[in-house]
Chain A
Amino acid sequence: MTRVNIHPDEGEWRAYLDGELPPDRLAALRTHLSTCSACQARLAEVQAVSRFAGNLLGVLTEAAERAPVPADRLFAWVQPFKEEIPMGEPRRFKVRYALAAAAAAFALSLFVPGLRARAADWVSIFRVKESRIVRLSTDDVKAAERFTQSGLPDLILNRYLKEQVLTKEQSGETDKLMDLHDYGFTTPGYIPAGYSPQKGFWVDPGARALTPDVDGINALLASSGSKLQLPAELKGQTVRVAFRPITSFTWTKEGKELRVMEGEPPILSVSGNVDVNKLAASLGPVFGKEIGLSGDLLAQIKGLDLSSTLPLPVVQGQGQEVTIHGHKGTFYEAKGGNLIAWMSGSRVNLVSGSEPLAELLKVAESLEE
């Protein structure tokens, strides 16, 4: 064993505390410490100073981690991934898929500050940008589940899922049939999708404060032929957009396709001096009628116009009241497909397909079990 001939200086005691000495040196110092009270005192002093400094730095680290980060910094990181997520024109779906898009688009609600939040009182604005049929293996599904549980930012998940989508489409692997939806309220905003094995894909919940590029959004809407235009009063206002989980699942059954979507529509809350009534009025032309600020959410499905480029279904008639395990719902016959919509709590649920009512009802009931 190495004998320690001189008393180690503070520097070496500091390294001793951090375990940053060669093992034989460490052992030698330990032995020396047991017999030298002067060095014991010196080590104690080095340790006290180290702890004090550590506490001070801890204060800073904690403050640094809690510091608010300007929104543009937070979202700047999205930029490299933007190119990989198409921002093109919304595809004109076949009507049966449009019905699923309607699940996203049919609820248009406007939050009036001060009102208690109920889905029926909410106006949400979003449109489908792209929808694809993709096929993922159960391994992919498990990997995606791992991602969602890891707390990884949802945009990364979306990118990963898209990579998988492209790979699988090319290789033709089939195991499970899924739908991938991108919903966007504004640029550069995304509502990317996640996945859970029980429910299929979901849209990540969360709320973000955005200052919408009103001119840019309106230009985008106009270029796609939409009648929807955001009012100028929104310019410069901070808009808080809350995205709620939306689950979408599609599967084939004997050559027919069935789609299920359930979730809560995104919520747009507007702060500042926005005339909420004006905003609602500007949305009226989209639906061909005045949009009330309150009222039965399901009633808003009626009169939605597919000819608007927000892909919305045309539903005929008043619909037929149905019950899904105690929840009141409505069955609609729509062009090219049928639709059952109902609410459970604040959740909106939608089942659509070419199946007749009895079949859709079975599917709906299986969701509420």
Chain B
Amino acid sequence: MTEPENLEGLYRSVYCRALYLTGDPTAAEDAAQETFARYVAHRPAGLRSPAAWLAQVVTRLCFDWMRRRRRAPEPRAELPEAPDTAPLPEEEAVRREEVARVRQALARLEPRDRQILLMRHASASYREIAAVVGCAENSVGQLLHRAERRLKDAYDEGEHPSR
């Protein structure tokens, strides 16, 4: 993860990570605020990368939220883009297309598959995943592999839709 260049960027990346994981703006705000409140309370000294510390804390808070809610994140609708009067450079246009394609692929999965994928991608342990998903820890590997395969298939299908 590239370090945010300014303080606003730091909050933004924490909030966005929470939003991405929970799919819920209110929960994301709560998580982001709690994250910074914990930073103040614990005041970890000598941090090389506060951004990484904050990312870790907010991720764990989101997992807690998921566990409490037993709710899988809904695929995010397109986040509002800032009004942009300048024409998009090609690189940016291509990037946005790719993002849309991935989102579409993810949306085609079952909620549990989505949840497992997002959690693992956010470095959740199998134990954490099991606790949220409600399965045995030793079946997470199988569930994860299947979810990854389904995502790949959904993505490939999106690129080359069968008639």
What residues of chain A have their CB less than 8 Å away from a CB belonging to chain B?
A: 9-16, 18, 20, 46, 49-50, 52-54, 56-61, 63-70, 73-74, 76-77, 80, 143, 146, 150-154, 156, 159-160, 204, 206, 208
Q: Mark B71-108, 1 if CB is under 8 A from A, else 0.
A: 00000100111100000000000010011001101100
B33 to chain A, nearest CB (A): 5
Q: Is the CB of B79 within 8 A of A68?
A: yes
Q: Mark B103-133, 1 if CB is under 8 A from A, else 0.
A: 1011000000000011011000110000000
B151 — which chain A residues lie within 8 A by C-beta? 53, 56-57
Tell me, in angstroms, the Cα distance from A69 to B8 when the chains sit together.
10
The total of Cβ contacts below 8 Å across the A-B interface reads 144
Tell me, in angstroms, the Cα distance from A68 to B108 when the chains sit together.
25
B50 — which chain A residues lie within 8 A by C-beta? 150-152
Q: Is the CB of A152 within 8 A of B105?
A: no
* B63 within 8 Å of A (CB atoms): no
Interface centre among A15, A49, A53, A206 (most CB of B within 10 A): A53
Q: Is the CB of B141 within 8 A of A56?
A: no
A54 — which chain B residues lie within 8 A by C-beta? 121
B162 to chain A, nearest CB (A): 19
B9 to chain A, nearest CB (A): 9
Tell me, in angstroms, the Cα distance from A76 to B28 when the chains sit together.
11
Specify which of A13, A60, A74 is in contact with B103 (CB 8 Å cutoff): A60
Q: Is the CB of B145 within 8 A of A56?
A: no
Q: Is the CB of A20 within 8 A of B125?
A: yes
Q: Is the CB of B76 within 8 A of A49?
A: no
Q: Is the CB of B145 within 8 A of A50?
A: yes
Q: Is the CB of B142 within 8 A of A11?
A: yes
Subset of 9 A-B contacts with CB under 8 Å: A11-B139, A14-B144, A15-B126, A59-B99, A63-B99, A68-B79, A68-B81, A143-B43, A150-B50
B144 — which chain A residues lie within 8 A by C-beta? 11, 14
CB within 8 Å for A60 and B99 given contacts A20-B125, A146-B45 = yes
Specify which of A9, A63, A77, A160 is in contact with B33 (CB 8 Å cutoff): A77
A67 — which chain B residues lie within 8 A by C-beta? 16, 19, 79, 81
Q: Mark B1-35, 1 if CB is under 8 A from A, else 0.
A: 10110111011110111011000010001001100
Tell me, in angstroms, the Cα distance from A52 to B159 when the chains sit together.
14
Q: Is the CB of B40 within 8 A of A159?
A: yes
A218 to chain B, nearest CB (A): 27
Q: Is the CB of B1 within 8 A of A20?
A: no
A208 — which chain B residues lie within 8 A by C-beta? 8
Q: Is the CB of B33 within 8 A of A153?
A: no
B138 — which chain A residues lie within 8 A by C-beta? 15
Tell me, in angstroms, the Cα distance from A303 to B141 when the chains sit together.
75
Q: Is the CB of B8 within 8 A of A12?
A: no
Nearest chain B residue, comparing its CB with the CB of A79: B33
Q: Is the CB of B102 within 8 A of A59?
A: yes
Q: Is the CB of B152 within 8 A of A152?
A: no
Q: Is the CB of B126 within 8 A of A69?
A: no
Q: Is the CB of A61 within 8 A of B45?
A: no
